[in-house]
Structure 1
């Protein structure tokens, strides 16, 4: 018998319910990263998780709700990783280097997560793939990077440039390297990360 929530509709999920939800999210990440978003059905997720389709619908009322929960978890973990690395760095230059390294390092260590992000935040040919607010807005996506660049300028460490434009350029370089790695797994990301760091610093530092 499937355990039910507490008396009220807003009652917190039980331990078993939280475990089942996490089990379903992990199964969804596995399937989306290997089969793609369109080929990931509720039935396939249920089979991968070893549960019934009815159990899936008990915890998540639709495929969109479940895949969105999986995407949100991936993005939260990614953001937490970057934030942790930034917290360890001191000064605008070190923080920017930490950002570039964290962006590459997390994706290198979590290839499945990269596939999920790629699958679920990019449109398919018909433009019908699941979207999240701001997911296609590159301006919003690189706001944190632009903020780091602005901090460096205000501290007199970086030369004068438009932070938004530079953030798009650096972010695009990171995306390009990761896209190549996804297509060519033999590509070595460690020296690539070092080159990205050098590329970034050469683009922004003062040359007095």
Structure 2
């Protein structure tokens, strides 16, 4: 009888946890280089140097494994942005730190950007995970809207609908990154500075 995989991640052995991390990293590599459709369980197993059965022991389907890969990518992305926002001295600085961190992380982690793009968007403009709008992923717009609301309460931002403005700023960031993926010669540092100006103009009090 083959060994049974524990359904409790906390009960997994050190070796099992290490193997899961390896399979997730191989999945990230393959999605970012070959695309989602070409990232089969067989390809992941070959990259990891294990059997397909070993992959299925840890993740019962491609969907479960690729979701785990996306979850890891988004967790690392979110932690990076949150750390920089939380270090900001005031609500306005926190908002600008958010914009810079969103661009900076994606600039330095191109393969993660590819995973997010491949996992969330298909060629027809739909979503592989049935989650409409890349900016809505993992409550992105809600987090940005909360920063905007903090600025309003502090009196440094004008009154506006925070969801609408959060979606607009997020869409601008996504648009810049999408262009950079196709045209890597785009200066993302200069683009980040322009997006800061764009954000300030969108939220600053009006005379």
User: Does TM-score exceed 0.5, indicating one fold?
Assistant: yes
Task: Indicate conservation of the 8 Å contact 1:21/1:59, yes or no.
Answer: yes
Distance of 1:207 and 1:135 partners within structure 2: 33
Cα offset for 1:126? 9.1
CA distance in 2, matches of 1:135, 1:92: 29
* Equivalent residues in 2 for 1:95-114, closer than 5 Å: 95-114=94-113
Cα distance in structure 2, aligned partners of 1:135 and 1:70: 19
Q: Does the CA-based 8 Å contact 1:64-1:130 persist in structure 2?
A: no
Contact 1:174 1:196 in 2 (8 A): yes
Q: Is the 8 A contact 1:100 1:196 kept in 2?
A: yes
Q: Displacement, 1:196?
A: 0.5
Equivalent residue number for residue 161 of structure 2: 162
Paired position in structure 2 for 1:118: 117
Structure 1's unaligned 5+ residue stretches are: none
CA distance in 1, matches of 2:134, 2:80: 22
User: Which residue of 2 is the match for residue 194 of structure 1?
Assistant: 193
C-alpha distance after superposition, 1:144-170 (max 9, x if no partner):
111111111111101122111111111
Following superposition of structure 1 onto structure 2, how do residues 18-57 of structure 1 map, counting pairs within 5 Å?
A: 18-57=17-56
- Unmatched tracts of structure 2, length 5 or more: none
Cα 1:136/1:192, change in 2 over 3 Å: closer
Q: Which of 128, 131, 141 is the equivalent residue of 2:129? A: 131
| Cα distance in structure 2, aligned partners of 1:137 and 1:192 | 20
TM-score for the superposition, normalised by structure 1 = 0.90
Q: Which residue of 2 aligns with 1:78?
A: 77
Tell me how large the CA RMSD over aligned residues is.
2.1
The Cα offsets for residues 67-123 of structure 1, whole Å up to 9 and x where unpaired, read as 010000001111111110111112110000110011111111110000000111113
CA shift for structure 1 position 130: 3.3
- Where does residue 182 of structure 1 map in the other structure? 181
Compared CA separation, residues 137 and 106, structure 1 to 2 (3 A): closer
The CA distance in 2 between the partners of 1:155 and 1:113, in whole Å, is 35
1:91 is the counterpart of 2:90: yes
